[in-house]
Amino acid sequence: MSKKYFGTDGVRGTVGTEPMTAEFAMRLASAAARVLVPEGGTVLIGKDTRLSGYMFESALEAGFVAAGADVLLIGPLPTPGIAVLTQVFKADLGVVISASHNPYQDNGIKFFDGLGSKLTDDVEMAIEAQVEQPAVTLNSMSLGRAKRIDSARNRYQDFCTATFPGHLTLEGLKIVFDGANGAGYKVGPRALADLGAEVIPIGCSPNGRNINDGCGSTNPALLRTTVPAVGADVGVALDGDGDRVVMIDENGELIDGDQLLYILAVSRQESGLLKGPVVGTVMSNLGLEHALRAKSINFLRARVGDRYVLETLRESGGTLGGETSGHMIVLDQTTTGDGLVCALQVLAVMKQTGLPLSKLASGMQKYPQTMINVNVRKRVNPTDFPAIRQAVSTAESELKDTGRIVLRASGTESVIRVMVEGQDAAAVQALARRLADVVTSAAG
């Protein structure tokens, strides 16, 4: 059975439209409590900086407390910080109110289990089986309690800085930090400064409506101009909930998740710390696979979504994986994708080698890649359409071994993503446009 509400990363949508309503959030909390939180258990709730976060925080708190769970309210903190603190406070469940890189009009709800890991598909299905039921309200003696935790940011900040090698500091580095006006707007600059860096913050003035607006990992144009303009060594950009990171080299060039993965993999191999294969996704650039192969590093591809990267890492015994978008997982440091922790690992490589970011990334050649998002009537599997299958087969025969084609349905939108990559940029663009037209005709 397919899931009705849970997508690639929790439940997400436009605020005020089902399922992102206060009433649904209360039912979702009640359902999650019945499935995952024993009576008397504890739930930890954090959020990003969206205005609607207050509403969903209150609704979730009511749903959990009414079902008998104690609630710890953390306030704005990056998603990976909730994963860490769920373990620190020995909670049964961690909840994040965030729509990640989406605009402020959207919001979402996602969960971590007591070990700081995202829920499996089976558990999400079990919650969905309960969510259509009215929210449970126990008798007064059985209700949970709620309280705010004021030390949360400091605890997560200390966790992040502890992942940086103890014999190194960031002294001598000038870093421009872009917090996307999101959940990492405080903890990011303070962690970098604590390690000795000179920090220039941008995108660190949230007002409830400017999250991801012209800033952050999905909009790094300002960061790209700021880094060379102020003579900085590097730029770091998180997304709205802090689980993605991209970096900017000293020349203002974007270093994406594939390149960061290459830098960390090579560094760990050279130091003897690389375990198992490196894991990307079906959307990872072919240049990453070829560059790792040249270093005799095994590379595996998972489904899109950091949860599937994590699953593949655990199955294969690997510790390093990520996505082009900057969802980076460094399992020898934490349990989930963490933009700040990943950035600190890359900065450590810069300090250890004395090399600029541009030089560290130069060993990987990115192949031209074109992706077109095709709006469709409803979420569908593109391979269900014979015309699309035939068009893909024809295009693959034209590319042969010089490129790849990936068609996939978005996990959060009614969109088919058409991705083509190869060595010839013009041919890649033409093939992507041709396939997008076929998808539009068949499923649009």
DSSP string, 111-137: EEETTS-BPPHHHHHHHHHHHTSPPP-
Residue 192 reports pLDDT greater than 70? yes
Sign of the C-alpha dihedral, residues 29, 32, 33, 34? positive
pLDDT digits (tens, 9 = 90+) for 336-395: 999 999 999 999 999 999 999 999 999 999 999 999 999 988 878 898 999 999 999 999
The overall average pLDDT reported for the chain is 95
User: Which residue is it, tokens 């010089």?
Assistant: 402
Q: Which residues of 23-61 are buried (b: 16+ CB within 10 A; e: fewer)?
A: ebbbbbbbbbbbbbbeeebbbbbbbbbbebbebbbebbb
Domains of the chain, start order: 6-150 (3.40.120.10), 156-361 (3.40.120.10), 369-443 (3.30.310.50)
Asked if 136 contacts 66 with a C-beta cutoff of 8 angstroms, the reply is yes
Are 258 and 285 a contacting pair, CB within 8 Å?
A: yes
Q: Letter for the amino acid at 38?
A: P
* Sign of the torsion angle spanned by Cα atoms 168, 174, 178, 181: positive
Ordered DSSP codes for 57-83: HHHHHHHHHHTT-EEEEEEE--HHHHH
- What are the residues whose beta carbons fall under 8 Å from the beta carbon of 64, sequence distance 6 or more? 29, 30, 32, 33, 37, 43, 45, 71, 144
pLDDT at 443: 86
Pair type for strands 245-248 and 254-255: antiparallel
pTM, entire model: 0.91
Q: Which residue has the tokens 């909730």?
A: 82
* Contact of 407 with 435, CB cutoff 8 Å: yes
| Cα 245 to Cα 235: distance, rounded to the nearest angstrom | 10
Closest CA to 279 of 295, 249, 263, 258: 258
Q: Which residue among 100, 267, 284, 325 is the active-site one?
A: 100
Q: For residue range 286-296, what is the model confidence (pLDDT) as tens digits?
A: 999 999 999 99
pLDDT band at 48 (very low <50, low <70, confident <90, very high): very high
Is the pLDDT confidence value at 305 over 70? yes
Summarised one tens digit per residue, pLDDT across range 407-421 is 988 866 789 999 999
Note the pLDDT of residue 410: 81
pLDDT score for 1: 61
Lowest mean pLDDT among 1-5, 224-228, 355-359: 1-5
2 is catalytic: no
Q: Which two tokens stand for residue 383?
A: 């391979």
Q: For helices 152-162 and 79-88, what crossing angle results, to 10°?
A: 100
- Residue pair 106/99 in contact (Cβ under 8 Å)? The answer is yes
